[in-house]
């Protein structure tokens, strides 16, 4: 296994010392990255000591090294998962042939675009969350936010490495552009819409890490099945880090939900807001909003691009190599419900054209598993309410359902019905104002804001009341 060179400016396991041109190019990009981090990365406790994990080896279990770090001194680096011996192309027309170490000319542009779109999400979320720690519900939560932030920064490094190493001058230009776009900026926004939404409250943060980072997991999973082996290895290592982001979101939501049920028991008339909690109907609206925004990120249900990516081996299905026998998908179809003449009509489309939809379905069942856990927590707390996921047709702004209206069960409704019900399903200005009113920092060791239950255990075997952020320096 390629060991990590940890002594150079850019820690790496890609033998940068022996590729001087690439090393020099990345060393030129590095100060621009640090500038970007300082100007639009975490603006709260920006140079305080934070208890963080850093990758020091890509060996199983060996890569997570814990200790206090000031974020601008975090050792961002380039880590690829170890190569698989004799790996073959998992999907498409060339399935079974050896994987590519270099990019065939005809796929250069499309692969660059795929990498840039994925890469753009990494710095975007850091920008969206840059002020969030000013209202952290605890030191534990602030630390988790910063851990996610530094790792998204590292994911940007991972993608920038691919751009620099394999796309020459164009790749270097794209790497510069990744530091020039800004989440929510009118003139130079991030590429995908969910990554331009503001993230100013912790219910949003936990929904985002639960639902939107989970989209990232599935996108990375599809790219991990790529014929382009360096991309596959990069994504495989990113997935190990992504697991923690999903844990932050899933457990963070569970703690807010659990606390809501506890307050409902305590409050006269069950009025959770009267006791300063976030009531379950409000939580459900946030779930509806972020789940459907994240479904959009998979692209259209029917897509010739998706078919082309699959055919050429640029992307595979989720766990393509492990879970499937037939990697061609030719001669097969999938039924998709189209909106035609004011009704839903089933149509069979070639399976390759439904690759976005297949990935979205894998994602949706993963989300359903998460929601079942939350509902178990609710039951444990004696609540009879359940959180549900809206139907995938609900509130979509991408794909074939964009122009119609659906209720949360996925049934077609009229625009008037939508207008009448919208405020029951999605956050209103009043809901947002209420949630915002709860966002006050709680920074004592072991102390938690009233709307969120403490976690069951701390990070890396430390107690819950550990000093995860040294607030005094």
The CB density around residue 261, as the number of other CB atoms within 10 Å, is: 22
Binding span for Fe ion by CB under 5 A among 72-80, 161-169, 241-249, 436-444: 241-249
- How big is the site for Fe ion, counted in residues (CB under 5 A)? 6
- Tell which one of 245, 315, 334, 352 touches Fe ion (CB under 5 A): 245
Q: What is the smallest separation between the CB atom of 68 and Fe ion, expressed in angstroms?
A: 22
Shorter beta-carbon distance to Fe ion: residue 214 or 334: 214
Phi/psi for 360 (5° steps) reads -60, -40
Binding span for Fe ion by CB under 5 A among 25-33, 81-89, 117-125, 377-385: 117-125
Contact assessment for residue 195 and residue 298, using Cβ atoms and an 8 Å cutoff? no
Q: What is the smallest separation between the CB atom of 440 and Fe ion, expressed in angstroms?
A: 26
Six token digits for residue 96: 């079974």
Neighbouring C-alpha atoms within 13 Å toward the C-beta of 462: 17
Shorter beta-carbon distance to Fe ion: residue 152 or 250: 152
Six token digits for residue 132: 């969030």
Task: Check residue 155 for interaction with Fe ion (CB under 5 A).
Answer: yes
Q: What is the smallest separation between the CB atom of 352 and Fe ion, expressed in angstroms?
A: 27
Contact assessment for residue 352 and residue 330, using Cβ atoms and an 8 Å cutoff? yes
Site for Fe ion in 309-368 (CB under 5 A): none
* CB neighbour class for 150 (10 Å; exposed up to 12, middle 13-18, buried from 19): buried
b/e per residue 73-92 (b: at least 16 CB within 10 A)? ebbbbbbbbeeeeeeebbbb
b/e per residue 152-163 (b: at least 16 CB within 10 A)? bbbbbbbbbbbb
Binding mask 394-423 for Fe ion (x = CB under 5 A): ------------------------------
Binding span for Fe ion by CB under 5 A among 243-251, 322-330, 339-347, 377-385: 243-251
Nearest Cα to Cα of residue 463 among 139, 76, 41: 139
Phi/psi for 187 (5° steps) reads -85, -40
SS3 content of the chain, % helix, strand, coil (to 5): 55, 10, 35
Q: What is the smallest separation between the CB atom of 280 and Fe ion, expressed in angstroms?
A: 26
User: Mapping DSSP to helix (H, G, I), strand (E, B) and coil, where does residue 190 land?
Assistant: coil
Q: What is the smallest separation between the CB atom of 325 and Fe ion, expressed in angstroms?
A: 31
Shorter beta-carbon distance to Fe ion: residue 64 or 336: 64
Binding span for Fe ion by CB under 5 A among 41-49, 70-78, 122-130, 322-330: 122-130
User: Mapping DSSP to helix (H, G, I), strand (E, B) and coil, where does residue 333 land?
Assistant: strand
Q: What is the smallest separation between the CB atom of 201 and Fe ion, expressed in angstroms?
A: 19
Shorter beta-carbon distance to Fe ion: residue 107 or 298: 298
Contacts of 402 (CB under 8 A, 6+ apart): 396
The helix or strand, by DSSP H or E, that contains position 55, with its residue range, turns out to be strand 49-55
Task: Check residue 236 for interaction with Fe ion (CB under 5 A).
Answer: no
Task: Check residue 217 for interaction with Fe ion (CB under 5 A).
Answer: no
Q: What is the smallest separation between the CB atom of 248 and Fe ion, expressed in angstroms?
A: 9
* CB neighbour class for 212 (10 Å; exposed up to 12, middle 13-18, buried from 19): buried
Shorter beta-carbon distance to Fe ion: residue 100 or 205: 205
Strand partners, 343: 340
Q: What is the smallest separation between the CB atom of 242 and Fe ion, expressed in angstroms?
A: 5
Binding mask 194-213 for Fe ion (x = CB under 5 A): -------------------x
Strand ranges inside 11-151, DSSP E: 49-55, 64-70
Binding span for Fe ion by CB under 5 A among 98-106, 155-163, 311-319, 322-330: 155-163
Binding span for Fe ion by CB under 5 A among 146-154, 291-299, 304-312, 434-442: 146-154
Shorter beta-carbon distance to Fe ion: residue 154 or 315: 154
- Site residues (vs Fe ion, CB under 5 A): 122, 152, 155, 213, 242, 245
């Amino acid at each position: 296994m390629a060991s990590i060179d940890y002594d150079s400016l850019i820690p790496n396991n890609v033998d940068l010392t022996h590729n001087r041109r690439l090393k020099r190019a990345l060393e030129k990009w590095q100060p621009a990255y640090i500038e970007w981090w300082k100007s639009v990365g975490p603006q709260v406790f920006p140079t305080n000591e934070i208890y963080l994990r850093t990758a020091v080896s890509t060996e199983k279990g060996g890569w997570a090294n814990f200790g206090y770090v000031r974020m601008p001194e975090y050792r961002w680096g380039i880590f690829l998962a170890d190569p698989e011996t004799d790996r073959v192309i998992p999907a498409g027309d060339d399935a079974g042939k050896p994987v590519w170490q270099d990019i065939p000319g005809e796929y250069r542009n499309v692969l660059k675009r795929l990498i840039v779109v994925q890469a753009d999400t990494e710095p975007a979320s850091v920008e969206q969350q840059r002020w969030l720690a000013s209202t952290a519900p605890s030191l534990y939560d602030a630390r988790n936010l910063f851990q996610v932030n530094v790792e998204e920064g590292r994911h940007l490094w991972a993608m920038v490495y691919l751009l620099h190493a394999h796309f020459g001058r164009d790749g270097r230009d794209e790497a510069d552009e990744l530091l020039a776009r800004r989440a929510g900026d009118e003139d130079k926004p991030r590429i995908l819409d969910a990554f331009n939404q503001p993230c100013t409250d912790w219910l949003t943060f936990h929904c985002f890490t639960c639902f939107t980072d989970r989209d990232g997991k599935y996108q990375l999973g599809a790219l991990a099945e790529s014929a382009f082996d360096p991309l596959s290895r990069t994504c495989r290592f990113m997935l190990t880090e992504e697991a923690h982001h999903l844990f932050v979101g899933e457990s963070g939501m569970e703690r807010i939900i659990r606390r809501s049920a506890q307050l409902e028991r305590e409050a006269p008339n069950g009025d959770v807001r009267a006791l300063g909690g976030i009531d379950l109907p409000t939580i459900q609206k946030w779930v509806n909003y972020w789940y459907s925004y994240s479904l959009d990120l998979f692209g259209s249900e029917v897509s010739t691009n998706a078919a082309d990516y699959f055919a050429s081996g640029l992307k595979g299905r989720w766990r393509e190599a492990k879970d499937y026998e037939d990697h061609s998908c030719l001669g097969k179809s999938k039924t998709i419900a189209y909106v035609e003449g004011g009704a839903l009509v089933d149509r069979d489309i070639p399976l390759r054209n439904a690759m976005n939809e297949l990935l979205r379905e894998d994602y949706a069942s993963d989300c359903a598993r998460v929601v079942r856990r939350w509902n178990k927590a609710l039951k444990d707390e004696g609540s009879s309410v359940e959180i549900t996921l809206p139907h995938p047709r609900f509130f979509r702004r991408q794909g074939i359902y964009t122009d119609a209206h659906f209720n949360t069960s996925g049934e077609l409704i009229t625009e008037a019905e939508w207008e009448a019900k919208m405020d029951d399903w999605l956050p209103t200005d009043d809901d947002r104002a209420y949630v915002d009113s709860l966002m006050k920092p709680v920074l004592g060791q072991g102390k938690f804001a009233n709307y969120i239950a403490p976690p069951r255990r701390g990070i890396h075997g430390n107690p819950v009341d550990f000093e995860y952020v040294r607030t005094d320096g």
